[in-house]
A and B are shown apart, each in its own frame.
Chain A
Amino acid sequence: MDLLEYQGKQLFAKHDLPVPEGRHAASVEEAVAAAEQVGFPCVVKAQVAIGKRGKAGGIKIAKDGSEAREHAEAILGMDIRGFTVHDLWIEQASQIASEYYASIVLDRSAKKLLAMLSRMGGMDVEEMAEKDPAALVRRHIEPSEGFGPEHAGQIAVDAGIDEDVQGQVAEVLMELREVALAEDATLIEVNPLIVTEDRRVVALDAKVTIDNNALFRHEDLAELRDPSAEDPQEQMAKERGLTYVKLGGNIGILGNGAGLCMSTLDVVAQAGGEPANFLDAGGGSKAEAIVAALEVITSDPNVDAVLFNIFGGITRCDEVARGIIEAFRRIEIEVPLVVRLDGTNSEEGLKLLADAGIANLTVEKTMLGAAEKVVELANA
Chain B
Amino acid sequence: MSIIVDNDTRLVVSGLTGREGSFHGLRNRDYGTDLVAGVTPGKGGQDVDGVPVFDSIAEAVEVGANTSMIFVPARFAAAAVEEAIDAGVGTVIAITEGIPVLDMLGVYWKAKEAGVRLIGPNCPGVLSPGKANVGIIPAHFFEQGSIGVVSKSGTLTYQIGNELAQAGLGNSTIVGIGGDPIIGSDFIDVLELFEADEETELIVMVGEIGGDAEERAAEFIAESVSKPVIAYIAGFTAPPGKQMGHAGAIISGSSGTAEAKKEALEAKGVAVGRSPTEAAQLAVETLAARA
Contact = CB atoms under 8 A, between A and B. Distances in A.
A311 B155 contact: yes
A270 interface: yes
A278 B245 contact: yes
Interface stretch (A72-80, A165-173, A178-186): A178-186
Contacts, number: 159
Contacts of B155: 255-257, 259-260, 283, 311, 313, 315
A337 B276 CA distance: 22
A259 B162 contact: no
A112 B181 CA distance: 12
B87 interface: no
Contacts of A232: none
Main secondary structure of the interface of B (DSSP, over half): loop
Nearest to A265: B237
Most buried by A among B75, B102, B243: B102
A28 interface: no
A304 to B, nearest CB: 17
B211 A108 contact: yes
B274 interface: yes
A195 to B, nearest CB: 28
Given A311-B158, A367-B276, A214 B151 contact: no
Given A260-B159, A313-B137, A106 B101 contact: yes
Contacts of A144: 109
B216 to A, nearest CB: 7
A331 B151 CA distance: 37
Interface residues of A, number: 50
B211 A258 contact: no
Interface stretch (B9-17, B39-47, B51-59, B246-254): B246-254
Nearest to B255: A109
Given A259-B154, A263-B275, A278 B246 contact: no
B238 interface: yes
A280 B245 contact: yes
Given A247-B237, A255-B155, A262-B234, 16 more contacts: A106-B105, A108-B181, A111-B105, A113-B105, A245-B243, A259-B245, A260-B154, A262-B156, A262-B235, A262-B237, A262-B238, A269-B237, A270-B274, A311-B158, A313-B137, A343-B141
